[in-house]
Structure 1
Amino acid sequence: MDIKDFMNNNKKLIIGIVIICFVLLIFIGFKKDGKEKISIVSKDIEAGKNIDVSEFVKLKDKYKDTYVIEPLNKKVNCLEVGKKTISYILREKGSTDKEEVKVDFNVVDTTPPVIKELDILSVPFKSKFNITKFIEAQDNIDGKLSEDKIKVEGNVDTAKIGKYNIKVTAEDSSGNKAIKDMEIKVIRPYIAIEKIKGLEGKYINKGKNLVLSFYDNYGRASYSFGETGDSLNYSGHVSSMQKKGNEIRLLVSYDTSDWQNGEKPDYEFAEMKLYRIGNDLRLQSFLDYKNIDLSYAGKSWNDVKNSFNIN
Protein backbone atom coordinates (compact mmCIF):
# COMPACT_ATOMS: atom_id res chain seq x y z
CA MET A 1 0.00 0.00 0.00
CA ASP A 2 1.48 3.35 -1.01
CA ILE A 3 1.11 6.63 0.85
CA LYS A 4 -1.77 7.78 -1.32
CA ASP A 5 -3.80 4.67 -0.57
CA PHE A 6 -3.01 5.00 3.19
CA MET A 7 -4.20 8.60 3.13
CA ASN A 8 -7.42 7.68 1.34
CA ASN A 9 -8.17 4.76 3.67
CA ASN A 10 -7.41 6.65 6.93
CA LYS A 11 -8.81 10.12 6.35
CA LYS A 12 -10.77 10.20 9.62
CA LEU A 13 -7.77 9.03 11.67
CA ILE A 14 -5.48 11.61 10.09
CA ILE A 15 -8.02 14.41 10.63
CA GLY A 16 -8.37 13.38 14.30
CA ILE A 17 -4.60 13.45 14.84
CA VAL A 18 -4.36 16.88 13.23
CA ILE A 19 -7.13 18.26 15.48
CA ILE A 20 -5.49 16.84 18.61
CA CYS A 21 -2.13 18.36 17.67
CA PHE A 22 -3.77 21.69 16.98
CA VAL A 23 -5.46 21.70 20.38
CA LEU A 24 -2.19 20.77 22.10
CA LEU A 25 -0.39 23.57 20.30
CA ILE A 26 -3.03 26.04 21.42
CA PHE A 27 -2.81 24.79 25.02
CA ILE A 28 0.99 24.88 25.06
CA GLY A 29 0.99 28.28 23.47
CA PHE A 30 -1.47 29.62 26.03
CA LYS A 31 0.59 28.28 28.92
CA LYS A 32 3.69 29.90 27.55
CA ASP A 33 1.80 33.07 26.83
CA GLY A 34 0.90 33.49 30.54
CA LYS A 35 4.47 34.13 31.70
CA GLU A 36 5.10 36.36 28.73
CA LYS A 37 2.36 38.71 29.88
CA ILE A 38 4.04 39.48 33.23
CA SER A 39 7.35 40.91 34.42
CA ILE A 40 9.13 40.22 37.72
CA VAL A 41 9.71 43.33 39.81
CA SER A 42 12.56 41.73 41.79
CA LYS A 43 13.90 38.19 41.87
CA ASP A 44 15.08 38.56 45.47
CA ILE A 45 12.70 38.35 48.45
CA GLU A 46 13.76 39.32 51.95
CA ALA A 47 13.09 36.42 54.33
CA GLY A 48 10.26 36.68 56.81
CA LYS A 49 6.76 35.62 57.85
CA ASN A 50 3.46 36.59 56.18
CA ILE A 51 5.08 38.47 53.33
CA ASP A 52 2.70 40.23 50.92
CA VAL A 53 3.74 38.95 47.46
CA SER A 54 1.16 41.00 45.49
CA GLU A 55 3.70 43.52 44.22
CA PHE A 56 6.47 41.09 43.25
CA VAL A 57 5.11 40.70 39.69
CA LYS A 58 3.18 43.02 37.39
CA LEU A 59 1.53 42.95 33.98
CA LYS A 60 3.44 44.26 31.01
CA ASP A 61 2.13 47.55 29.70
CA LYS A 62 0.30 46.12 26.68
CA TYR A 63 -1.71 43.72 28.90
CA LYS A 64 -2.60 46.08 31.77
CA ASP A 65 -5.98 47.02 30.30
CA THR A 66 -7.06 43.51 29.39
CA TYR A 67 -5.67 41.16 32.05
CA VAL A 68 -5.53 40.77 35.84
CA ILE A 69 -2.72 39.08 37.82
CA GLU A 70 -3.15 38.11 41.50
CA PRO A 71 -1.21 35.85 43.87
CA LEU A 72 -2.80 32.49 44.71
CA ASN A 73 -1.99 33.29 48.36
CA LYS A 74 -1.41 36.95 49.19
CA LYS A 75 0.59 36.22 52.39
CA VAL A 76 3.47 33.76 52.11
CA ASN A 77 6.07 32.56 54.64
CA CYS A 78 9.62 32.75 53.32
CA LEU A 79 11.68 31.24 56.11
CA GLU A 80 14.33 29.35 54.13
CA VAL A 81 17.07 31.03 52.15
CA GLY A 82 17.19 29.92 48.50
CA LYS A 83 14.68 29.13 45.75
CA LYS A 84 11.00 29.87 46.43
CA THR A 85 8.22 29.18 43.91
CA ILE A 86 5.12 31.34 44.21
CA SER A 87 1.89 30.81 42.25
CA TYR A 88 -0.08 33.63 40.61
CA ILE A 89 -3.47 33.54 38.89
CA LEU A 90 -3.74 35.23 35.48
CA ARG A 91 -7.11 35.89 33.84
CA GLU A 92 -8.53 38.06 31.12
CA LYS A 93 -10.89 40.79 32.30
CA GLY A 94 -14.53 39.70 31.96
CA SER A 95 -13.54 36.04 31.69
CA THR A 96 -13.79 33.27 34.27
CA ASP A 97 -10.96 31.28 32.68
CA LYS A 98 -7.86 31.29 34.85
CA GLU A 99 -4.26 30.28 34.40
CA GLU A 100 -1.80 29.46 37.18
CA VAL A 101 1.58 31.03 36.57
CA LYS A 102 4.44 29.79 38.75
CA VAL A 103 7.31 32.20 39.34
CA ASP A 104 10.65 31.33 40.93
CA PHE A 105 12.20 33.80 43.38
CA ASN A 106 15.36 33.83 45.48
CA VAL A 107 14.87 34.25 49.24
CA VAL A 108 17.68 36.20 50.90
CA ASP A 109 18.31 37.16 54.52
CA THR A 110 20.00 40.50 55.08
CA THR A 111 17.97 41.56 58.13
CA PRO A 112 19.93 41.67 61.40
CA PRO A 113 18.38 40.55 64.69
CA VAL A 114 16.65 43.07 66.92
CA ILE A 115 18.04 43.48 70.46
CA LYS A 116 15.32 44.41 72.93
CA GLU A 117 15.85 45.43 76.55
CA LEU A 118 13.68 43.35 78.89
CA ASP A 119 14.36 45.00 82.23
CA ILE A 120 16.01 47.90 83.99
CA LEU A 121 19.72 47.68 83.27
CA SER A 122 20.87 47.17 86.84
CA VAL A 123 22.25 44.19 88.71
CA PRO A 124 22.38 43.81 92.51
CA PHE A 125 25.70 43.94 94.32
CA LYS A 126 27.51 40.56 94.49
CA SER A 127 24.96 38.82 92.28
CA LYS A 128 25.67 36.85 89.11
CA PHE A 129 25.51 38.86 85.88
CA ASN A 130 23.85 37.19 82.89
CA ILE A 131 23.10 39.35 79.85
CA THR A 132 20.13 37.20 78.78
CA LYS A 133 18.22 38.38 81.86
CA PHE A 134 18.36 41.93 80.52
CA ILE A 135 17.97 41.56 76.74
CA GLU A 136 16.30 39.39 74.13
CA ALA A 137 17.46 39.06 70.50
CA GLN A 138 14.75 38.26 67.94
CA ASP A 139 15.48 37.32 64.32
CA ASN A 140 13.19 37.24 61.28
CA ILE A 141 14.14 33.59 60.54
CA ASP A 142 15.70 32.13 63.68
CA GLY A 143 13.20 33.61 66.12
CA LYS A 144 14.58 34.11 69.65
CA LEU A 145 18.35 33.67 69.55
CA SER A 146 19.97 31.31 72.03
CA GLU A 147 22.53 32.46 74.57
CA ASP A 148 25.46 31.17 72.47
CA LYS A 149 24.46 33.59 69.69
CA ILE A 150 24.86 36.60 71.99
CA LYS A 151 28.32 37.93 72.82
CA VAL A 152 29.34 40.57 75.37
CA GLU A 153 32.42 42.77 75.21
CA GLY A 154 33.35 44.42 78.49
CA ASN A 155 33.24 43.41 82.13
CA VAL A 156 30.58 43.96 84.80
CA ASP A 157 32.17 43.63 88.24
CA THR A 158 29.27 42.92 90.58
CA ALA A 159 31.62 43.11 93.57
CA LYS A 160 31.93 46.85 93.03
CA ILE A 161 29.07 49.33 92.84
CA GLY A 162 29.19 51.55 89.79
CA LYS A 163 28.41 51.90 86.07
CA TYR A 164 29.87 49.59 83.42
CA ASN A 165 29.79 50.03 79.64
CA ILE A 166 29.43 46.88 77.56
CA LYS A 167 28.86 46.06 73.89
CA VAL A 168 26.36 43.33 73.02
CA THR A 169 26.47 41.54 69.64
CA ALA A 170 23.72 39.20 68.43
CA GLU A 171 24.35 37.12 65.27
CA ASP A 172 21.79 35.07 63.33
CA SER A 173 22.32 31.91 61.25
CA SER A 174 22.87 33.98 58.09
CA GLY A 175 25.71 35.94 59.68
CA ASN A 176 23.73 39.17 60.16
CA LYS A 177 24.80 41.04 63.28
CA ALA A 178 23.14 43.55 65.57
CA ILE A 179 25.32 45.59 67.94
CA LYS A 180 24.06 47.54 70.95
CA ASP A 181 26.03 49.63 73.45
CA MET A 182 24.63 49.36 76.95
CA GLU A 183 25.34 50.74 80.41
CA ILE A 184 24.86 48.30 83.28
CA LYS A 185 24.63 49.59 86.86
CA VAL A 186 25.69 47.55 89.85
CA ILE A 187 23.40 48.82 92.60
CA ARG A 188 22.72 48.37 96.28
CA PRO A 189 20.03 45.74 96.59
CA TYR A 190 17.10 46.12 98.94
CA ILE A 191 14.17 44.12 100.24
CA ALA A 192 10.53 45.19 100.36
CA ILE A 193 9.25 46.81 103.52
CA GLU A 194 6.82 43.88 103.97
CA LYS A 195 9.79 41.63 104.70
CA ILE A 196 10.80 43.64 107.76
CA LYS A 197 7.52 44.98 109.11
CA GLY A 198 8.20 43.60 112.57
CA LEU A 199 11.05 46.09 112.97
CA GLU A 200 9.21 49.30 112.27
CA GLY A 201 9.50 52.07 114.84
CA LYS A 202 12.48 53.52 116.70
CA TYR A 203 15.27 52.01 118.78
CA ILE A 204 16.85 54.48 121.17
CA ASN A 205 19.94 54.42 123.37
CA LYS A 206 18.99 57.29 125.66
CA GLY A 207 22.31 57.25 127.51
CA LYS A 208 24.21 57.94 124.30
CA ASN A 209 21.51 60.11 122.69
CA LEU A 210 21.38 57.75 119.68
CA VAL A 211 18.33 56.91 117.52
CA LEU A 212 17.81 54.12 114.98
CA SER A 213 14.65 53.99 112.85
CA PHE A 214 13.33 51.51 110.26
CA TYR A 215 10.84 52.92 107.78
CA ASP A 216 9.06 52.53 104.44
CA ASN A 217 10.90 54.27 101.61
CA TYR A 218 8.65 53.90 98.52
CA GLY A 219 8.17 50.23 99.34
CA ARG A 220 11.81 49.64 100.22
CA ALA A 221 12.93 48.79 103.71
CA SER A 222 15.22 51.63 104.81
CA TYR A 223 16.84 52.78 108.01
CA SER A 224 18.46 55.83 109.54
CA PHE A 225 20.53 56.22 112.70
CA GLY A 226 22.81 58.65 114.42
CA GLU A 227 22.82 61.22 117.21
CA THR A 228 19.56 63.05 117.82
CA GLY A 229 19.46 66.19 115.69
CA ASP A 230 22.60 65.25 113.74
CA SER A 231 22.02 65.80 110.04
CA LEU A 232 25.11 63.74 109.20
CA ASN A 233 23.61 60.46 110.30
CA TYR A 234 23.88 57.04 108.68
CA SER A 235 21.13 55.95 106.27
CA GLY A 236 20.51 53.36 103.62
CA HIS A 237 18.55 50.29 102.60
CA VAL A 238 18.13 46.87 104.14
CA SER A 239 19.48 44.60 101.43
CA SER A 240 18.77 41.14 102.81
CA MET A 241 17.69 39.33 105.95
CA GLN A 242 18.65 35.98 107.47
CA LYS A 243 16.94 34.35 110.45
CA LYS A 244 18.69 31.76 112.60
CA GLY A 245 18.04 30.75 116.17
CA ASN A 246 17.96 33.80 118.46
CA GLU A 247 19.43 36.13 115.86
CA ILE A 248 18.21 38.23 112.95
CA ARG A 249 21.03 39.34 110.67
CA LEU A 250 20.47 42.25 108.31
CA LEU A 251 22.76 43.07 105.40
CA VAL A 252 22.55 46.83 105.00
CA SER A 253 23.88 49.36 102.55
CA TYR A 254 24.51 52.96 103.45
CA ASP A 255 25.07 56.29 101.78
CA THR A 256 28.38 57.90 102.63
CA SER A 257 28.03 60.96 100.41
CA ASP A 258 27.48 63.38 103.32
CA TRP A 259 30.00 61.99 105.74
CA GLN A 260 32.70 64.26 107.09
CA ASN A 261 36.27 63.80 105.95
CA GLY A 262 37.94 60.94 107.74
CA GLU A 263 34.69 59.21 108.70
CA LYS A 264 33.98 57.48 105.41
CA PRO A 265 34.85 53.76 105.65
CA ASP A 266 36.23 51.63 102.84
CA TYR A 267 33.01 49.65 102.39
CA GLU A 268 29.36 50.37 101.60
CA PHE A 269 27.80 47.13 102.84
CA ALA A 270 27.86 45.68 106.32
CA GLU A 271 25.85 43.63 108.78
CA MET A 272 23.51 44.54 111.61
CA LYS A 273 22.64 41.86 114.14
CA LEU A 274 19.49 41.73 116.25
CA TYR A 275 19.72 39.27 119.12
CA ARG A 276 17.85 38.17 122.21
CA ILE A 277 18.84 38.81 125.84
CA GLY A 278 16.08 37.44 128.04
CA ASN A 279 12.95 38.87 126.49
CA ASP A 280 14.69 42.00 125.27
CA LEU A 281 15.51 42.64 121.65
CA ARG A 282 18.95 44.17 121.19
CA LEU A 283 20.50 45.50 118.03
CA GLN A 284 24.23 45.80 117.44
CA SER A 285 25.50 47.86 114.53
CA PHE A 286 28.17 46.98 112.02
CA LEU A 287 30.80 49.44 113.23
CA ASP A 288 31.65 51.88 116.00
CA TYR A 289 30.23 55.34 115.51
CA LYS A 290 32.67 57.90 116.93
CA ASN A 291 34.02 55.17 119.25
CA ILE A 292 30.57 54.59 120.75
CA ASP A 293 29.28 51.02 120.95
CA LEU A 294 25.99 50.99 119.07
CA SER A 295 23.88 48.61 121.15
CA TYR A 296 20.21 49.46 121.49
CA ALA A 297 17.51 48.54 123.94
CA GLY A 298 14.37 48.21 121.85
CA LYS A 299 11.11 46.33 121.62
CA SER A 300 10.67 43.00 123.34
CA TRP A 301 11.66 39.85 121.55
CA ASN A 302 8.03 38.72 121.57
CA ASP A 303 7.03 41.83 119.61
CA VAL A 304 8.98 40.73 116.55
CA LYS A 305 9.59 36.99 116.75
CA ASN A 306 6.22 36.05 115.21
CA SER A 307 6.93 38.30 112.23
CA PHE A 308 10.04 36.30 111.49
CA ASN A 309 8.81 32.83 112.55
CA ILE A 310 11.58 32.45 115.10
CA ASN A 311 11.12 29.98 117.93
Structure 2
Amino acid sequence: MPAALAALTAGLLVFHRAVAGSVGRVGSLLETFLPWLGLVIVVLFGLALLRRSATALVALLLPTAAWTHLFGGLLLPAEESGPHDLVVVQHNVSDENTDPAGTARALADAGPDLIALQELVPPAVQVYEKTLAPDYPHHAVRGTVGLWSKHPLTDARLLDIAPRGITEPWSRGLRTAVHTPHGEIAAYVAHLPSVRVGASGLMSSRRDESAGLLGEAVAAEQLRTVILLGDLNGTVEDHGLAPLTSRMDVARRGFALSFPAAFPLVRIDQVMARSATVAHIRTLSATGSDHLPVTAHITLR
Protein backbone atom coordinates (compact mmCIF):
# COMPACT_ATOMS: atom_id res chain seq x y z
CA MET A 1 0.00 0.00 0.00
CA PRO A 2 2.71 2.64 0.83
CA ALA A 3 4.36 1.96 -2.53
CA ALA A 4 1.08 2.47 -4.39
CA LEU A 5 0.36 5.66 -2.47
CA ALA A 6 3.87 6.88 -3.23
CA ALA A 7 3.27 6.33 -6.94
CA LEU A 8 -0.08 8.15 -6.70
CA THR A 9 1.52 11.08 -4.89
CA ALA A 10 4.24 11.29 -7.53
CA GLY A 11 1.58 11.24 -10.24
CA LEU A 12 -0.34 14.11 -8.63
CA LEU A 13 2.82 16.17 -8.32
CA VAL A 14 3.98 15.59 -11.87
CA PHE A 15 0.61 15.59 -13.65
CA HIS A 16 -1.41 18.04 -11.57
CA ARG A 17 -2.25 19.97 -14.76
CA ALA A 18 -4.01 16.86 -16.07
CA VAL A 19 -6.80 17.30 -13.53
CA ALA A 20 -7.09 21.03 -14.16
CA GLY A 21 -10.40 20.68 -15.99
CA SER A 22 -11.95 18.24 -13.58
CA VAL A 23 -15.52 18.55 -12.36
CA GLY A 24 -15.74 21.08 -9.50
CA ARG A 25 -12.36 22.57 -10.47
CA VAL A 26 -10.59 19.94 -8.40
CA GLY A 27 -7.38 20.80 -10.24
CA SER A 28 -7.24 24.29 -8.73
CA LEU A 29 -7.95 22.88 -5.28
CA LEU A 30 -5.14 20.34 -5.66
CA GLU A 31 -2.73 22.96 -6.98
CA THR A 32 -3.54 25.32 -4.11
CA PHE A 33 -2.24 22.82 -1.58
CA LEU A 34 0.29 21.05 -3.81
CA PRO A 35 3.33 21.81 -1.60
CA TRP A 36 1.58 20.07 1.31
CA LEU A 37 1.93 16.74 -0.51
CA GLY A 38 5.40 16.83 1.02
CA LEU A 39 3.74 15.89 4.33
CA VAL A 40 2.20 12.86 2.62
CA ILE A 41 5.70 11.79 1.61
CA VAL A 42 6.88 12.10 5.22
CA VAL A 43 3.96 9.98 6.47
CA LEU A 44 4.57 7.34 3.80
CA PHE A 45 8.24 7.27 4.75
CA GLY A 46 7.26 6.53 8.35
CA LEU A 47 4.91 3.73 7.22
CA ALA A 48 7.61 2.23 5.03
CA LEU A 49 10.01 2.15 7.96
CA LEU A 50 7.40 0.56 10.23
CA ARG A 51 6.69 -2.12 7.65
CA ARG A 52 10.38 -2.46 6.79
CA SER A 53 9.38 -2.33 3.15
CA ALA A 54 12.30 -1.81 0.83
CA THR A 55 9.88 -1.58 -2.11
CA ALA A 56 8.00 1.30 -0.51
CA LEU A 57 11.24 3.12 0.32
CA VAL A 58 12.39 2.84 -3.27
CA ALA A 59 8.97 3.96 -4.52
CA LEU A 60 9.21 7.05 -2.33
CA LEU A 61 12.12 8.26 -4.43
CA LEU A 62 9.60 9.18 -7.14
CA PRO A 63 7.45 11.68 -5.17
CA THR A 64 10.52 12.96 -3.33
CA ALA A 65 12.24 13.77 -6.61
CA ALA A 66 9.07 15.36 -7.98
CA TRP A 67 8.51 17.52 -4.89
CA THR A 68 12.16 18.60 -4.82
CA HIS A 69 11.99 19.57 -8.48
CA LEU A 70 8.86 21.66 -7.95
CA PHE A 71 9.55 23.24 -4.57
CA GLY A 72 13.08 22.45 -3.44
CA GLY A 73 14.46 25.71 -4.79
CA LEU A 74 12.14 27.69 -2.54
CA LEU A 75 13.93 26.25 0.49
CA LEU A 76 17.36 27.50 -0.58
CA PRO A 77 18.87 30.54 1.16
CA ALA A 78 18.18 33.95 -0.33
CA GLU A 79 20.53 34.94 -3.12
CA GLU A 80 22.71 38.00 -2.73
CA SER A 81 20.86 41.07 -3.97
CA GLY A 82 22.21 42.82 -7.03
CA PRO A 83 22.95 46.54 -7.34
CA HIS A 84 19.60 47.41 -8.90
CA ASP A 85 17.28 45.86 -6.34
CA LEU A 86 13.94 47.23 -5.29
CA VAL A 87 12.25 46.05 -2.11
CA VAL A 88 8.48 45.77 -2.20
CA VAL A 89 5.76 44.93 0.31
CA GLN A 90 2.38 43.44 -0.54
CA HIS A 91 -0.42 43.36 2.02
CA ASN A 92 -4.17 42.88 2.13
CA VAL A 93 -4.75 45.07 5.16
CA SER A 94 -8.36 43.86 5.70
CA ASP A 95 -11.37 46.15 5.68
CA GLU A 96 -11.93 45.13 9.32
CA ASN A 97 -8.46 46.15 10.51
CA THR A 98 -8.84 48.12 13.75
CA ASP A 99 -5.26 49.45 13.77
CA PRO A 100 -4.44 50.90 10.34
CA ALA A 101 -1.83 53.24 11.80
CA GLY A 102 0.01 50.37 13.47
CA THR A 103 -0.21 48.35 10.27
CA ALA A 104 1.22 51.22 8.24
CA ARG A 105 4.12 51.67 10.65
CA ALA A 106 4.91 47.95 10.61
CA LEU A 107 5.06 47.92 6.81
CA ALA A 108 7.17 51.07 6.63
CA ASP A 109 9.62 49.61 9.17
CA ALA A 110 10.56 46.97 6.57
CA GLY A 111 12.01 49.82 4.49
CA PRO A 112 10.54 48.92 1.10
CA ASP A 113 10.56 51.13 -1.98
CA LEU A 114 6.94 50.24 -2.76
CA ILE A 115 4.00 49.27 -0.54
CA ALA A 116 0.90 47.80 -2.20
CA LEU A 117 -2.32 47.58 -0.17
CA GLN A 118 -5.74 46.04 -0.75
CA GLU A 119 -9.10 46.34 1.06
CA LEU A 120 -8.62 50.05 1.62
CA VAL A 121 -11.79 51.62 3.00
CA PRO A 122 -12.59 55.08 4.37
CA PRO A 123 -11.63 56.44 6.84
CA ALA A 124 -8.68 54.03 7.04
CA VAL A 125 -7.32 55.37 3.73
CA GLN A 126 -6.68 58.74 5.36
CA VAL A 127 -4.84 57.02 8.21
CA TYR A 128 -2.55 55.17 5.80
CA GLU A 129 -1.92 58.38 3.86
CA LYS A 130 -1.00 60.33 6.99
CA THR A 131 1.12 57.61 8.58
CA LEU A 132 3.07 56.71 5.44
CA ALA A 133 3.51 60.27 4.12
CA PRO A 134 6.89 61.03 5.81
CA ASP A 135 8.67 58.10 4.13
CA TYR A 136 6.36 57.56 1.14
CA PRO A 137 5.47 60.95 -0.31
CA HIS A 138 4.06 59.47 -3.52
CA HIS A 139 0.92 57.38 -3.59
CA ALA A 140 -2.05 56.46 -5.75
CA VAL A 141 -5.36 54.94 -4.65
CA ARG A 142 -8.05 53.64 -6.98
CA GLY A 143 -11.08 52.05 -5.37
CA THR A 144 -9.93 49.68 -2.65
CA VAL A 145 -6.31 49.25 -3.82
CA GLY A 146 -3.36 51.57 -3.50
CA LEU A 147 0.38 51.97 -3.93
CA TRP A 148 2.77 54.01 -1.78
CA SER A 149 6.21 54.79 -3.15
CA LYS A 150 9.49 56.44 -2.26
CA HIS A 151 9.82 57.30 -5.95
CA PRO A 152 7.60 59.56 -8.09
CA LEU A 153 4.47 58.07 -9.64
CA THR A 154 2.79 59.17 -12.87
CA ASP A 155 -0.06 58.06 -15.10
CA ALA A 156 -1.97 56.30 -12.32
CA ARG A 157 -5.21 54.83 -13.59
CA LEU A 158 -7.91 52.36 -12.69
CA LEU A 159 -7.69 48.87 -14.20
CA ASP A 160 -11.00 47.33 -15.19
CA ILE A 161 -10.61 43.72 -14.06
CA ALA A 162 -14.18 43.22 -12.85
CA PRO A 163 -15.68 39.89 -13.95
CA ARG A 164 -19.06 39.81 -15.65
CA GLY A 165 -22.12 39.77 -13.42
CA ILE A 166 -20.82 42.23 -10.83
CA THR A 167 -23.18 45.20 -10.79
CA GLU A 168 -22.10 46.99 -7.62
CA PRO A 169 -19.08 49.35 -7.58
CA TRP A 170 -15.99 47.17 -7.90
CA SER A 171 -12.60 48.83 -8.27
CA ARG A 172 -9.77 46.48 -7.45
CA GLY A 173 -7.09 47.21 -10.01
CA LEU A 174 -4.49 49.98 -10.34
CA ARG A 175 -1.71 50.69 -12.82
CA THR A 176 0.90 53.41 -12.42
CA ALA A 177 4.39 54.24 -13.65
CA VAL A 178 7.16 54.36 -11.04
CA HIS A 179 10.23 56.51 -11.75
CA THR A 180 12.95 54.57 -9.95
CA PRO A 181 16.67 55.44 -9.89
CA HIS A 182 17.11 52.54 -12.31
CA GLY A 183 14.51 53.58 -14.84
CA GLU A 184 10.76 53.74 -15.32
CA ILE A 185 8.73 50.65 -14.49
CA ALA A 186 5.02 49.84 -14.51
CA ALA A 187 3.51 48.80 -11.19
CA TYR A 188 0.20 46.94 -11.03
CA VAL A 189 -1.79 46.45 -7.82
CA ALA A 190 -4.71 44.02 -7.88
CA HIS A 191 -7.18 42.21 -5.67
CA LEU A 192 -8.80 39.32 -7.51
CA PRO A 193 -12.19 37.87 -6.48
CA SER A 194 -12.30 35.38 -3.63
CA VAL A 195 -12.40 31.64 -4.16
CA ARG A 196 -14.84 29.48 -2.22
CA VAL A 197 -15.03 25.76 -1.61
CA GLY A 198 -18.61 24.48 -1.76
CA ALA A 199 -20.56 21.26 -2.23
CA SER A 200 -20.05 21.51 -5.99
CA GLY A 201 -16.29 21.97 -5.68
CA LEU A 202 -14.01 24.98 -5.98
CA MET A 203 -15.84 28.12 -7.10
CA SER A 204 -13.16 30.15 -8.85
CA SER A 205 -14.70 31.22 -12.16
CA ARG A 206 -14.82 34.91 -11.24
CA ARG A 207 -11.23 34.83 -9.96
CA ASP A 208 -10.12 33.11 -13.17
CA GLU A 209 -11.96 35.64 -15.37
CA SER A 210 -10.44 38.57 -13.47
CA ALA A 211 -6.98 36.98 -13.76
CA GLY A 212 -7.50 36.77 -17.51
CA LEU A 213 -8.36 40.47 -17.74
CA LEU A 214 -5.32 41.36 -15.62
CA GLY A 215 -3.12 39.17 -17.81
CA GLU A 216 -4.35 40.99 -20.91
CA ALA A 217 -3.52 44.33 -19.31
CA VAL A 218 0.02 43.17 -18.50
CA ALA A 219 0.47 41.85 -22.03
CA ALA A 220 -0.55 45.23 -23.46
CA GLU A 221 1.76 47.21 -21.13
CA GLN A 222 4.17 49.36 -23.14
CA LEU A 223 6.84 49.72 -20.45
CA ARG A 224 9.33 46.87 -20.55
CA THR A 225 9.51 46.17 -16.81
CA VAL A 226 6.34 45.33 -14.89
CA ILE A 227 5.89 44.51 -11.21
CA LEU A 228 2.58 43.03 -10.07
CA LEU A 229 1.64 43.09 -6.39
CA GLY A 230 -1.65 41.77 -5.17
CA ASP A 231 -3.95 39.50 -3.28
CA LEU A 232 -4.61 37.16 -6.19
CA ASN A 233 -6.61 34.62 -4.18
CA GLY A 234 -4.57 31.81 -5.68
CA THR A 235 -1.15 30.22 -5.48
CA VAL A 236 1.36 30.40 -8.31
CA GLU A 237 0.78 26.68 -8.94
CA ASP A 238 -2.94 27.24 -9.55
CA HIS A 239 -3.69 27.01 -13.28
CA GLY A 240 -6.37 29.68 -12.77
CA LEU A 241 -3.54 32.23 -12.55
CA ALA A 242 -1.91 30.99 -15.77
CA PRO A 243 -2.75 34.24 -17.63
CA LEU A 244 -0.31 35.87 -15.19
CA THR A 245 2.25 33.17 -14.39
CA SER A 246 2.71 32.44 -18.12
CA ARG A 247 3.75 36.06 -18.66
CA MET A 248 5.61 36.88 -15.46
CA ASP A 249 8.32 35.50 -13.21
CA VAL A 250 7.52 34.40 -9.66
CA ALA A 251 9.66 34.09 -6.54
CA ARG A 252 12.70 31.82 -6.80
CA ARG A 253 13.29 31.62 -3.04
CA GLY A 254 10.91 31.46 -0.09
CA PHE A 255 7.49 29.94 0.60
CA ALA A 256 6.05 32.99 2.43
CA LEU A 257 2.73 31.39 3.36
CA SER A 258 0.46 34.37 3.98
CA PHE A 259 -3.09 33.16 4.63
CA PRO A 260 -4.77 32.80 7.03
CA ALA A 261 -2.58 34.87 9.33
CA ALA A 262 -3.39 32.77 12.41
CA PHE A 263 -2.18 29.56 10.75
CA PRO A 264 -0.78 30.22 7.27
CA LEU A 265 -1.45 27.42 4.79
CA VAL A 266 -1.02 29.07 1.39
CA ARG A 267 0.50 32.14 -0.22
CA ILE A 268 -2.22 33.99 -2.08
CA ASP A 269 -0.45 37.35 -1.73
CA GLN A 270 1.83 37.47 -4.72
CA VAL A 271 4.71 39.44 -6.19
CA MET A 272 5.37 38.81 -9.89
CA ALA A 273 7.58 40.58 -12.40
CA ARG A 274 8.25 40.91 -16.12
CA SER A 275 11.78 41.73 -17.28
CA ALA A 276 12.83 41.52 -13.63
CA THR A 277 13.53 38.77 -11.10
CA VAL A 278 11.69 38.17 -7.84
CA ALA A 279 14.79 36.97 -6.04
CA HIS A 280 13.34 36.19 -2.61
CA ILE A 281 10.00 36.49 -0.83
CA ARG A 282 9.20 36.21 2.88
CA THR A 283 6.46 37.13 5.32
CA LEU A 284 6.51 39.95 7.84
CA SER A 285 5.00 39.89 11.31
CA ALA A 286 1.23 39.79 11.70
CA THR A 287 -0.75 43.02 11.65
CA GLY A 288 -4.44 43.62 12.30
CA SER A 289 -5.29 41.75 9.09
CA ASP A 290 -6.24 38.14 8.39
CA HIS A 291 -3.36 38.09 5.88
CA LEU A 292 0.35 38.29 6.63
CA PRO A 293 2.32 40.93 4.73
CA VAL A 294 4.91 39.63 2.28
CA THR A 295 8.07 41.41 1.19
CA ALA A 296 10.22 40.62 -1.83
CA HIS A 297 13.49 41.68 -3.42
CA ILE A 298 13.22 42.61 -7.09
CA THR A 299 16.30 42.58 -9.31
CA LEU A 300 15.88 44.62 -12.47
CA ARG A 301 17.36 43.16 -15.63
**TM-score, scaled relative to structure 1:** 0.17
Which structure: larger Rg?
1
**TM-score, scaled relative to structure 2:** 0.18
Give the strand-richer structure, 1 or 2. Answer: 1
Give the helix-richer structure, 1 or 2. Answer: 2
Higher relative contact order (CA 8 A, sep 6+): 2
